[in-house]
Amino acid sequence: MHELSIVQNILEMVREHLPSEASRHLKSVRIRVGDGAGVVKDSLEFCFNAVISETPMQGAVLEIEPVPFVVKCNSCGKTSANESGVFLCLFCGGNDVIMVSGNELHVTAIELFDEKELMV
Amino acid sequence: MSVITIERKILEKNDEVAGQNRDIFLRHGIFAINIVSSPGSGKTSLLERTLTHLKKKLEVAVIEGDVQTDLDAQRISALGVPAVQIVTKGGCHLEASLVKEALASVDLSGVQLLIIENVGNLVCPANYDLGEAVKVVVASVTEGDDKPLKYPTMFRNASVMVINKVDLLPYVTCKIDVLKRNALSVNPSLKVFETSCVTNAGIAEWCDWLQKNASKE
């Protein structure tokens, strides 16, 4: 359950980009998470909501963009995506593969409410 | 509505501090390893055998990570090897900053090998670089031969696998060839050792490898 630590890192980064007096303007945090990054989406959302609850950021949404687990085979040169996260080429069965994507753990952007939207 | 683009790695702070740890190891000529495994695979027993074998040949220091208690550091200190305990108080993994703090209380001068024993957990520690040269995953035969397939990230990120408790092979259903095959399917370049902390089988080979690498630094 390292998702709490990951959420704390995310929020620290958000605070660097968002002055504290503007915290209530936070509408969403967009992150990119690889399928092979060893992070559970539901746990991330649970921790995110728990940490921001009763703070000016409460209600902000964590938008998770999943990135498929893709490997490229050094033997046959093909790339294959597999949901099980196994380091095997789905075409030739070889295990001499390099990971092309799936390890991502990035904050990509934050979305803010305008003052006008908050008034409504 | 406005959008602020960020595009930063979530664990960049950990990676940054891991880089600082790596610089410290480089400056002192220390070969640092990060030992990971599930709880009960015998990490601390392996450490005890390793230290008994190596302590007259190499200057070794140990950082122990556990959720609670300093029992492991006591076991290591009993062997006359300096050990610092990190208690994570619930935290499921070590982070680079915890190791950096611990390093401040170790006399690093002369140390050739630093062994960091991570919290017993095959999931969370995989994401956190501590600044080590090598990640070592310990898999014991009592855990079954399918562990590498169930926890591929950890076996993928490790460079070395120690198969421990091989003295129990006659009594368990785990097939060592299957365990090795599964591990190599996840990580073809994994270097494998087979050890028993009861019979001391394989301890010499494992220690020779450590000594060779620690002497190079």
Question: Is A53 part of any domain?
Answer: yes
CA separation for the pair A26, A101 (Å, rounded): 29
Question: Is B6 part of any domain?
Answer: no
CA separation for the pair A69, A77 (Å, rounded): 16
Q: Which residues contact B77 (CB under 8 A, 6 or more apart)?
A: B83
In 3D, which of B57, B49, B122, B47 has the Cα closest to residue B85?
B47
pLDDT 10s digits, B184-206: 988 888 999 999 999 999 999 99
The pTM is what? 0.89
Question: Is B7 part of any domain?
Answer: no
- Average pLDDT, integer, range B156-173: 97
Total domains, chain A: 1
Q: Quote the pLDDT of residue A114.
A: 86
pLDDT confidence band for B60 (50 / 70 / 90): very high
Q: Is the pLDDT of residue B137 over 80?
A: yes
Q: Quote the pLDDT of residue A1.
A: 67
Question: Is A80 part of any domain?
Answer: no
Contact A87 B10 (CB under 8 A): no
Q: Is the pLDDT of residue B142 over 70?
A: yes
Rounded to a whole number, what is the distance in Å from the CA of A112 to chain B's nearest CA?
5
The tokens of B26 are what?
């480089």
CA separation for the pair B22, B29 (Å, rounded): 10
pLDDT 10s digits, B19-52: 999 999 999 999 999 999 999 999 999 999 999 9
Question: Is A93 part of any domain?
Answer: no
Q: Quote the pLDDT of residue A120.
A: 64
pLDDT confidence band for B217 (50 / 70 / 90): low
Question: Is A10 part of any domain?
Answer: yes
Q: Quote the pLDDT of residue B107.
A: 92
Q: Quote the pLDDT of residue B14.
A: 95
Q: Does A111 touch chain B (CB under 8 A)?
A: yes
Dihedral over alpha carbons B38, B41, B43, B48 (to 10 degrees): 160
Q: Is the pLDDT of residue B1 over 80?
A: no
| Neighbouring C-alpha atoms within 13 Å toward the C-beta of A59 | 9
Question: Is A76 part of any domain?
Answer: no
Strands of A79-81's sheet in order across:
A79-81, A70-73, A97-101
State the DSSP H helix or E strand holding residue A60, giving kind and residue range, or none if neither: none
Sign of CA dihedral B86, B91, B95, B100: negative
Q: Which residues contact A10 (CB under 8 A, 6 or more apart)?
A: A29, A31, A48, A62, A107, B10
Residue B40 belongs to a domain with what CATH number?
Answer: 3.40.50.300
pLDDT confidence band for B113 (50 / 70 / 90): very high
Question: Is B167 part of any domain?
Answer: yes
Contact B3 A117 (CB under 8 A): no
Question: Is B124 part of any domain?
Answer: yes
Total domains, chain B: 1
Question: Is B60 part of any domain?
Answer: yes
Chain B residues whose C-beta is within 8 A of a chain A C-beta are: 1-11, 13-14, 91-93, 95, 123-124, 126-128, 149, 152-153, 156, 184-188
Q: Does A41 touch chain B (CB under 8 A)?
A: no
Q: Quote the pLDDT of residue A56.
A: 94
Q: Domain range holding B183?
A: 12-216
Question: Is A94 part of any domain?
Answer: no
Contact B6 A17 (CB under 8 A): yes
Within a 10 A sphere around the Cβ of B199, how many other Cβ atoms? 10
The list of chain A residues with pLDDT below 70 reads 1, 120
Q: Quote the pLDDT of residue B123.
A: 87
Q: Is the pLDDT of residue B18 over 90?
A: yes
Best residue of A9, A12, A14, A47 to probe chain B, by most B CBs closer than 10 Å: A9
Question: Is A77 part of any domain?
Answer: no
Q: Quote the pLDDT of residue A76.
A: 96
Contacts of B11 in chain A (CB under 8 A): 6, 9, 105
Question: Is A88 part of any domain?
Answer: no
Q: Domain range holding A12?
A: 3-69+101-119
